[in-house]
Amino acid sequence: MTVEVSVIATSSLGDRSYLASDGRVAIVVDPQRDIDRVLHLAGAKGVRVTHVVETHLHNDYVSGGLELARITGAHYLVAAADRVGFDRMPVADGDAVPVSDDLRLRVVGTPGHTFHHLSYVLDEAGDGGWSPVGVFTGGSLLFGTTGRTDLLGQRHAHDLAHHQHASARKLADLLPDGAQVWPTHGFGSFCSASQADAPESTIGRERAANPVLRLAADRFVTETLAGLDAYPAYYAHMGVANAAGPAPVDLTPVARADADELRRRIAAGEWVVDLRHRKAYAASHLAGTVGLGLDGPMSTWLGWLIDWGAPITLLAETPDQVADAQRELVRIGIDRPAAQATGAPEQWAAARSEVRELTVADFDALAAAQAGDTPAGLRAPQVVLDVRMTNEWKAGHVDGAVHVPLPDLPTRLADVPAGTVWVHCGSGYRATAAASLLANAGRDVVLIDDMFGRAEAAGVRMASTA
């Protein structure tokens, strides 16, 4: 018998869920809220889900575990120490949970990312008895890093970082080098202290590469806490939802809005979000909208930018794109958009004057402007605005630039100095959202749609890091 472990990736949030099976029954680990993906995979493999497990009460997404267990009749394993508003199978460090004649789970207490975090060792039966195949580590031991320890508040971050160090050592001492490591976080999630350094890993590789297993506890704690940047504001609502017991999702289409309704919503200051690619948005869009394309982590940035509970209207080229956005948003607890419209900006506008464009430049143009030779068709920059996160800014930035991280921009528009603003991020994605917010506030803005890694080579004058 060979255990098969399938990854269910949610790249937009930077997380992984897992389905592990012996060919007959299956375990699902840390499922996202849109559980139809899990049910489809289990059906395709012809396996029955008998156990759904949570490594922790998640802070970056709403779990689908409770609903998946309800639909499948599976046992729902949640830490006994977590206070929750639903029935579950409470488990704790040292528990062994039989799954089938061929599979079992061993529960390992691994506090650090949260106080009651658990990891689950997957054991396979063989002629010589049980042997570990790998371990589901949630937000504990990740690929080359660990889960961050400040999500429960700064007052706990130091103590939890020490717990995180001890937990990683505990797993390394418990398991052989060949055991697979299957984390939930590390692939773009802000739940990670830093991002994964490999697509897959083993305990042996982590011994050699992961700072948590290479550094003494005090140094690990100091370096880890020093490297943490801000995390999305909506995280404050995820743990609460997961502890209460999330409701089933409703992904049915939402009401369509015509041009007059869109105008009213924009006039009322509501969030009307254009999901098209930023190049299409720059070329033509409905004035008053915000550009957050589906090609990037739309839900993360939108959930971070809005006032929680604010009505959201979605604009896209096709109904399928709206449906994709709805799926992304329910994962972070934004259940029902207020309205939606599909087509093109000309169809969304009540008058042609409501359609506008963004002026676009690249770092070559910025370099020329810095040298006093602004390219034709562009307005010379009086302000260069960097909307990347603080750690990105510290690693290197344009000389003389103003720094306002994108999540802070809606409340700090007044901090952007007067004059024509050239705005950039790391790729153009966040800068497009920022440019739309600035334009909506009446600012004269130029979008730098370019990779920041090209800036210095393009001749842009950079700030000294000495």
Tens-digit pLDDT profile for the chain (466 aa)?
589 999 999 999 999 999 999 999 999 999 999 999 999 999 999 999 999 999 999 999 999 999 999 999 999 999 999 999 999 999 999 999 999 999 999 999 999 999 999 999 999 999 889 999 999 999 999 999 999 999 999 999 999 999 999 999 999 999 999 999 999 999 999 999 988 989 999 999 999 999 999 999 999 999 999 999 999 999 999 999 999 999 999 999 999 999 999 999 999 999 999 999 999 999 999 999 999 999 999 999 999 999 999 999 999 999 999 999 999 999 999 999 999 999 999 999 999 999 999 999 999 999 999 999 999 999 999 999 999 999 999 999 999 999 999 999 999 999 999 999 999 999 999 999 999 999 999 999 999 999 999 999 999 999 976 5
Tell me whether residue 463 is in a domain: no
Structural domain count of the chain: 3
Q: Are residues 364 and 348 in the same domain?
A: no
CB 14 within 8 A of CB 186: yes
Question: Which residue has 């100095």 as its token pair?
Answer: 417
Any residues with CB less than 8 A from the CB of 394 and at least 6 apart, and which? none
Same domain, 444 and 331: no
**224 and 291 belong to one structural domain:** no
Query: Is the domain of 426 the same as that of 349?
Result: no
- Do 364 and 352 belong together in one domain? no
Six token digits for residue 329: 């948003």
Last residue of a domain, one of 339, 356, 373: 356
End-of-domain residue from the set 328, 356, 384:
356
Quote the pLDDT of residue 1. Answer: 56
Please, what sign has the CA dihedral across residues 133, 196, 220, 147? negative
74 lies in the same domain as 172: yes
What is d(CA 400, CA 321) in angstroms, rounded to the nearest whole number? Answer: 39
Closest listed residue to residue 179, CA positions, set 111, 140, 121: 121
CA 189/CA 143 separation, integer angstroms:
13
pTM: 0.94
- Label the pairing between strands 312-316 and 339-342: parallel
Residues 281 and 228 in one domain: no
Is residue 253 included in any domain, yes or no? no
Residue 44 falls within a domain, yes or no?
yes
- Structural domain of 379: 359-458
Do both 370 and 352 map to the same domain?
Answer: no
- Is residue 66 domain-shared with residue 215, that is, in the same domain? yes
Domain contains 249: no
The answer to whether residue 188 sits within a structural domain is yes
| CA 455 – CA 55 distance, rounded (Å) | 41
Q: Which of 320, 335, 356 is the last residue before a domain boundary?
A: 356
Give the whole-angstrom CA distance, residue 2 versus residue 23.
8
- Amino acid 464: pLDDT: 77
Please indicate, yes or no, whether residues 113 and 229 belong to a single structural domain of this protein.
yes
250 by Cβ neighbours in 10 Å (0-12 / 13-18 / 19+) ranks as: exposed
In sequence order, the 6+-apart residues with CB closer than 8 A to the CB of 131 are 123, 124
| CATH number for 296 | 3.40.250.10
